[in-house]
Amino acid sequence: MEPIYKTVILKLSGEALVDGADKTILDQKKLSAIADEVVKVTALGVHLGVVVGAGNIWRGRLAEKVGIEQATGDYMGMLGTIINALALQSAFEEKGLDTRVMSSINVPQVCEPYIRRKAVHHLNNGRVVIFAGGTGNPFFTTDSTATLRALEVGADAILMGKNDVEGVYDSDPRKNPNAHFLKHLTFQEVVEKKLGVMDLTAVAMLEESKVVIHVFNMDNPDNVIKVLQGKDLGSTISKE
């Protein structure tokens, strides 16, 4: 089946990489499962960029707790995303995928600097590009990174894999058993209702774009392929 998109950004949370048994920051089986899915995505001919968070390594609220100013805490989180990106790169390369990590923070010993034209070149040549280092600026989340990179490389969609939730709800379903599932939303509705699906700054940047956001349960990695094949899965957010 032909994919419905040519170029996509896959947004993964750092928590999606955690070992559930002993709570270490990375789990080999989860990394391998994600890599297997990425192999299938590239086999469809889809150009794939990946943005990963750092919640398995560093959380902003910990900075406040231990007395670290927010800007410094955010930079620490950006470094955490580079660690996760390198772990994903290793897992992808074990599956034979040509992969590049590009970071907004310059660490030339371990990965390439992010340069938009070079990123587009990599994607057009079938390489998987993992965007690390956040936006390179404090006070922005990796949701904003996914949005910026999607706009910069001309992606058709952002695929947001969530843990333990099927899509977008009007409140947190893990706290409110009566939360209502929302199948289709506009960017404007997400901002107006202040839904916690992703950073509202990131959503606002997309309001005039044709990018579509798909929010779905990543506990089953096969859901990525199902979304790309047009299966009615999870929630969608778009301009109209």
Encode pLDDT of 25-69 as tens digits: 999 999 999 999 999 999 999 999 999 999 999 987 888 889 999
Determine how many CB atoms are found less than 10 A away from the CB of residue 175.
7
- Is position 85 within any domain? yes
- As given in the structure block, the two tokens for residue 198 are 């992703």
Asked if 81 and 54 touch (Cβ cutoff 8 Å), the reply is yes
- Is position 211 within any domain? yes
Label residue 142 by pLDDT band (50, 70, 90): very high
- Is position 62 within any domain? yes
Residue with structure tokens 């333990």? Answer: 164
- As given in the structure block, the two tokens for residue 28 are 């080999």
- What's the CA gap between 111 and 82, in Å, rounded? 9
- What's the CA gap between 46 and 41, in Å, rounded? 6
Q: At what angle do helices 142-153 and 116-124 cross, to 10 degrees?
A: 70
pLDDT, tens digit, 9 for 90 and up, residues 156-179? 999 998 877 899 998 888 888 888
- What's the CA gap between 215 and 143, in Å, rounded? 12
Using only C-alpha atoms, the chain has a radius of gyration, in whole angstroms, of: 17
Label residue 19 by pLDDT band (50, 70, 90): confident
- What's the CA gap between 81 and 90, in Å, rounded? 14
CA-based end-to-end distance of the chain: 26
- Cβ-Cβ contacts under 8 Å for 119 (sequence gap 6 or more): 49, 102, 129, 131, 149, 152, 153
**Structural domain boundaries enclosing 155:** 7-238
Q: Number of structural domains, the chain?
A: 1
- What's the CA gap between 224 and 208, in Å, rounded? 25
- Is position 196 within any domain? yes
pLDDT over threshold 80, residue 76: yes
- Is position 75 within any domain? yes
Q: How many helices (H) and strands (E) does the chain have?
A: 8, 11
- As given in the structure block, the two tokens for residue 54 are 């750092």
- Is position 37 within any domain? yes
Instruction: Tell me the CA distances in angstroms from 122 to 5, 31, 135, one per residue in order.
Output: 18, 22, 19
Provide the mean pLDDT of the chain.
94
Q: What are phi and psi of 149, to 5 degrees?
A: -65, -35
- Is position 77 within any domain? yes
CATH number for the domain that contains residue 199 = 3.40.1160.10
- Amino acid in the structure at residue 236: T
- Is position 1 within any domain? no
